[in-house]
Amino acid sequence: MNEMVEEILNSCKTDCTKAVDHQIQEYLVTRAGRANPHILDKVSIDYYGVPTPIKNMASISVPEARILAINVWDQSQHKNVVKAITEANLGVNPNEDGKTIRLIFPALTEERRKELVKQIKKVAEDTKVVIRNARRDAMDMLKDLQKEGEISEDEQKRYEDEVQKIINGYTSEVDNNFAAKEKEIMEI
C-alpha cells in the first residue's frame, strides 16, 4: 500500500476515534437516573487562583444508587465546592452537614427522560457529522492522489471502499453507544 494512502487512512481513523471518544465523554456526564460521579467532571473550583476539578480536591463516592457523597479534603474549600455545584446547574441541590456534601438525585420524570434522549441523540448526530467530514477529507485526498498520478483509478476506488468500511464501523459504534445510553436513560 502506498505510504500516502496509509497516512490518509490512519488520519481518518484518528479523527473518527476522537469523535467517538468525545461522544462517550459526553454520555458519561449525562445524568441517567442513577448517581454518576462523572456528572461532576465539568465542575471546577477556583482553588487558590487555579481552576481545579472537584475530583482533584475531594473524594466522590456513591453510597446509594441515587446519592453522591463528596468529602472535600481541604475543609476551607467546602463552601466553594457547594457554591460551584449549585452554579453548575446539575439539576440537584447539594445537601451538606459540614463535612460531607450529598447530591440526592430524584427519579427522572418521563418528560425529563425524553429530553435527555433528545440531548444524547444530538450528540450522536454531531459525532456522525464529524465522522462524515473525516470521510469527505479522506476521499478528497484520495482523488488528489489519483489526479497527481500517485495511484490509479482502480486503486482509488479500492481505497475509497476501504475508507467507507472504516466509516461504517465507526458509525455503527456511535449507534451502539446511543442505543446503550438511551436504554440506560429510559430504564425505570
In tens, the pLDDT along 113-168 reads 888 899 899 999 999 999 999 999 999 999 998 898 888 889 889 999 999 999 99
Task: Look at residues 39, 65, 69 and name the one whose alpha carbon lies nearest to residue 53.
Answer: 39
Which of the listed CATH numbers 1.10.490.10, 1.10.132.20, 3.20.20.100, 3.30.230.10 matches domain 3-29+109-186? 1.10.132.20
Question: How much is the pLDDT for 160?
Answer: 93
Cell numbers standing for residue 116 = 435527555
**H or E stretch including 17?**
helix 3-28
Highest mean pLDDT: which range of 15-19, 26-30, 59-63, 92-96: 15-19
Which whole-number Å values give the CA distances from 19 to 14, 134, 164, 175, in the listed order?
9, 10, 16, 13
Question: How much is the pLDDT for 17?
Answer: 95
In tens, the pLDDT along 6-39 reads 999 999 999 999 999 999 988 887 766 677 788 8
pTM of the model: 0.74
- For residue 107, pLDDT over 90 is answered with no
As a three-state string, the secondary structure of 123-186 is HHHHHHHHHHHHHHHHHHHHHHHHHCCCCCHHHHHHHHHHHHHHHHHHHHHHHHHHHHHHHHHH
Per CATH, 3-29+109-186 and 37-104 having the same topology is answered no
The CATH classification number of 37-104 equals 3.30.1360.40
- What letter represents residue 55's amino acid? K
Question: How much is the pLDDT for 138?
Answer: 93
Question: How much is the pLDDT for 87?
Answer: 85
Question: How much is the pLDDT for 32?
Answer: 66
- For residue 184, pLDDT over 80 is answered with yes
Task: Look at residues 126, 125, 130, 122 and name the one whose alpha carbon lies nearest to residue 15.
Answer: 130
When pLDDT is averaged across residues 165-182 and rounded to a whole number, the result is 94
Tell me the domain boundaries of the chain: 3-29+109-186, 37-104
Task: Look at residues 85, 92, 111 and name the one whose alpha carbon lies nearest to residue 35.
Answer: 92
Q: How confident is the model at residue 72 (pLDDT cuts 50, 70, 90)?
A: confident
Q: How far apart (Å, rounded) are the C-alpha atoms in residues 50 and 25?
A: 23
**H or E stretch including 55?**
none
